[in-house]
Amino acid sequence: MTRFLADYARNPVNLLMLVLVPTVFVIVSAGSLAEAAKLLGGPGGPAVATATAGWAAGFLAGLAMYFQMASARSADRRLVLAGLTATRLVAARLVTGLALALLVTAVSLIALAARSGIDTPLRVVGGTAMFALIYLALGAVVGTHVRTPVNGTVLILFIWILDVFFGPALGAADRVSTRWLPSHFVTLWMVDLPSRHGGRLGDLGWALAWTAGAVLVCWVVVVRSARIARRRPPRQAGSARAQLSGGLRMGIRDYGRNPVLWALLIAVPVVFVLLATAATPDAQTTLPLIEKGRAVLLTFRLPDVHAGTMTPIAVGSLSALAGLFIALDARAGDQRLILSGYGRGSLLTARMLVIALAVLLVSVVSLSVTAAVFNAQQWTVYIGATLLLGATYGLVGVAIGFLLGRVAGVFVAFLVPFLDLGIGQSPMLRSEPPRRAEFMPGYGASRMLLDGGLTRTFDRFGSLLIALAWLGGLTLITIWLWRRPIVLEPGRGHLAVGAR
């Protein structure tokens, strides 16, 4: 336990995430999320602000426990073979998880107290702790069953997004289809929003039942992970053109034998687009747009606008995570290939093509789902803006991975598109993006996407130039970062990007 916590604390980026994530959810985004809740039929106001502490604690606890379990699987089995009793190993893992839950609960509550204060300490502290414990169990389950980091993190984020954005704080509290979400009853009790569908147990009883069940599940999966399993047997340079072809085939083959990733690439757009459309009230909104070179005010049905604007969030989030893990998973192998004579140009081109194919796949799936519920006025512009946005965030993910590494990189790769596309550029929250949103990576492509989706003529040439400038700049940054060699940090057991 002490070794994992010490390693976690030695990394300053992990400590930064403990400050950054609650700050983003509780202090920065609470107001915007409260506005979104009013549009979607939720309570809005202080209830959303209170719930953000639980959301931040759950997010941090789930991903932290996932990486602890996923990275420790092989080491735990070697410790058991070396003589450590399974009971002590399980106890160490559970105590470590509990320490993580308490830590993320504390930092989330500090952020909430700094923003608005805590009016009902029992409900807020208890609810935030229950959020952390429930997602701790979720991270343990995913960490013991899903080996690939991109699959595990996207799966946890997928469940968290379902839980938060379709839960009772942002949506209607009496919706039957959302009662099975992990934090449904915890949220209702935490924000003092009686559901009247808790039965004899009540909202608190069901919340405690979910938490107790989560703790039990966490104990079971940690015990199972300590068992010794039979090892699987290990699986067993030419011209520039052959090297490029070989590198591309290796990248595609690695994705092709990853069924969990394929399922997530289909499920995430379905949730983002179809369920968001179904959950949006049938109201109207007025947006300032440009039509034939003139500024106009156009009125649309709120579900139509919501459907068209959820696509970039899905594409941006998935592309950023895909770029991050493609870069990190191939990094050490790429260095060995270069040392063995593989051409740098061919290898870099192959990796960039794999990222481009991943972005194309994400975009095609998301656009196919969107086409079922949204009729863009200019499909060519809408599709082009989506691809441009995906490519931009694919490269953002690469840069984040090289600079921050695996654990912190996942946090940031989710937070950046959330703040940019979900909060800053969203027409659901405000008719025009705030000034700070103009300096975010998705600004140009988002303006193009709205123009292509809601108007009949293309008038966003300036936005196109901004989007291309971001793409070109990120491409140069990616090339520079990729050319920097990897060094093995002494005593840390993981790879990092070093200076030449």
> Domain boundaries in the chain?
2-225, 240-497
Cα dihedral 117, 120, 125, 127 sign? negative
What does the pLDDT read at residue 251?
54
Could you list the mean pLDDT of each consecutive 10-residue stretch along the chain, which spans 500 residues? Answer: 60 67 78 72 74 89 82 66 70 81 88 85 92 92 79 81 82 71 90 72 87 89 64 46 57 57 69 73 83 88 82 88 78 69 74 85 87 89 94 92 78 85 84 87 93 92 95 92 58 40
- Collect all residues with Cβ–Cβ distance below 8 Å to 471 and sequence separation of at least 6: 388, 391, 392, 395
Cα dihedral 185, 187, 192, 194 sign? negative
To the nearest 5 percent, what fractions of the chain are helix, strand and coil?
75, 5, 20
Q: Is pTM beyond 0.75 here?
A: no
Question: Using H for helix, E for strand and C for coil, what is the string for 201-249?
Answer: CHHHHHHHHHHHHHHHHHHHHHHHHCCCCCCCCCCCCCCHHHHHHHHHH
Assess contact for 384 and 452: CB atoms under 8 A: yes
What does the pLDDT read at residue 232?
44
For residue 346 the two structure tokens come to: 């061919």
What does the pLDDT read at residue 42?
66
In angstroms, the CA 392 to CA 396 distance is 6
